[in-house]
Amino acid sequence: MSEQTQYDPLDKAQFERLFKTHFQYLCNFAQQYVGDADAAQDLCQKVFIMLWEKREHIDPRKSIKSYLFTAVKNRALNYL
């Protein structure tokens, strides 16, 4: 049985920086898929909620930006 590795979780300040830095870019990216600004914002908000809830399992050595864009793309495709 494999054990899930836990990392030092993002703290509130780090999370807020990520949100402020990437949210609008992610919304623009999602809107290209779904064609609706409100739906794009909802998708991105859900991705950030998921990130906060799973922050203990996010590997800080990997690109969080890549993770966010991949998660938004997957949600957008599921939305369609």
Tens digits of residue pLDDT in 11-38: 888 889 999 999 999 999 999 999 999 9
pLDDT band at 6 (very low <50, low <70, confident <90, very high): low
- Show Cβ contacts of residue 73 under 8 Å, excluding neighbours closer than 6 positions: 29, 30, 33
In the prediction, which pLDDT does 1 show? 41
| CB-CB contact of 27 with 40 (8 Å) | yes
pLDDT the model gives residue 75: 96
Measure the CA–CA gap between 18 and 14, rounded to whole angstroms: 6
Which pLDDT tens digit goes with each residue over 51-80? 999 888 877 677 889 999 999 999 999 998
What structural domains and CATH numbers belong to the chain?
Answer: 12-79 (1.10.1740.10)
Residues in the chain: 80
> Could you tell me if 72 and 26 are in contact, meaning their C-beta atoms sit under 8 angstroms apart?
yes
